[in-house]
Structure 1
Amino acid sequence: MQIHTLNSEEWTKAVAIGVAVSILTGLITLVGLKAGISPLPKPLGLAFAETLWESALPLPVGLLFHAVWVTGFSVVYFLLFADALTFMRAFWLAFVLWIATLVFFFPVVDWGFLGLAVTPKVIVAAAVLHLLFAVFLWGLARMTFGARIENHSARA
């Protein structure tokens, strides 16, 4: 695996896609919470920010944490896989991030290992959100960098 060089136009597109993915996944998280269908007690970005600052914070702070995190890892997708922006590569990135969420971030915010201090349902909720991350990332990459995907997708 190599880190690819992106030109300024590709950097702009990668960051824009990351912001779009963070908005889409953030909206889905908020809708799920407001509708009462999400088992998460609050958005993870907000819980993490509150843990760092050791105080209650407004939702926009959590959304900013979420946006930076998602945008950053979206750019990582382009830096690592610019030669073939496939769904499976987005999926495996999302899978690694899901595992990191379960074993690192959930315990850090006092939701327990795998989120079990809240409910086992958070494992599935986090999996769904990470799968959506992969779908949105790949879909927007395909729309933006279509030729790159089409020309190289058979290799990945």
Structure 2
Amino acid sequence: MQFYQLSAKDWAKTLIIGLVAAAVTAATMQGLLRAGISPLPEPLGLAFARLLLGDVPLPVGLLFHTVWNVAFVAFFVVMFGDSLSFGRATALAAALWGLVLVVFFPIVGWGFFGLAITPKLIVAAGGIHLLFAIVLWGGCRIAFGTSVPGAAAQ
């Protein structure tokens, strides 16, 4: 396993990609919730924040969501700097989707795979993770091309 050392400029690009990914996925989820299309009872980041902190407003949940997104974008760039491919972005998104289904949904009381709410949560979570993969890959293509230029493996 290699970790790629990033320059300050590359870290800034990574942060921007993470913020864009967080904004696009959060806006999509919020739009679907407000339109009554999403089967989620509330945004997962908000549900998790409320579990940890009590009754908090939506911005706190969005902060949890943003930190999570930025962290995994950074993980992606540092781990896969030699090949920032769509396949790798999709694999990461699929792993995160699995983590949500078997860890975070049960933690917030939605049950394993979200089945305590509805089986539709499986597809809804999958769709938003696919969107994350697309934004992650597209952002990396724009910022770095197919790999981080000059990234040195440690």
Report the TM range for the smaller structure's normalisation.
over 0.9
Partner of 2:22: 22
Contact 2:140-2:146 at 8 Å conserved across structures: no
Distance (Å, rounded) in 2 between the aligned partners of 1:34 and 1:120 = 20
Query: Which fold has the larger relative contact order, with Cα–Cα distance below 8 Å and residues 6 or more apart in sequence?
Result: 2
Distance (Å, rounded) in 1 between the aligned partners of 2:94 and 2:46 = 21
Where in structure 1 do 4 or more consecutive aligned residues deviate above 6 Å?
Answer: none
**Code of the aligned partner of 1:94:** A
Aligned residues: 148
Deviation string for 1:12-44 (max 9, x for gaps)?
100110011000000000000000000000000
2:148 counterpart of 1:137: no
Partner of 2:6: 6
Partner of 1:75: 74
2:114 counterpart of 1:115: yes
**Code of the aligned partner of 2:2:** Q
TM-score normalised to structure 2 length: 0.94
Partner of 1:146: 145
Distance (Å, rounded) in 1 between the aligned partners of 2:60 and 2:119 = 27
Distance (Å, rounded) in 2 between the aligned partners of 1:6 and 1:148 = 12
Cα deviation for residue 57 of structure 1 reads 1.1
TM-score normalised to structure 1 length: 0.92
* Structure 2: stretches of 5+ with no match in the other structure: 149-154
Distance (Å, rounded) in 2 between the aligned partners of 1:70 and 1:56 = 23
Q: Secondary structure, in 3 states, of the residue corresponding to 1:50?
A: helix
Q: Counting helix residues as a fraction of each chain, which structure ranks higher?
A: 1
What is the RMSD computed on CA atoms of the aligned residues?
Answer: 1.0
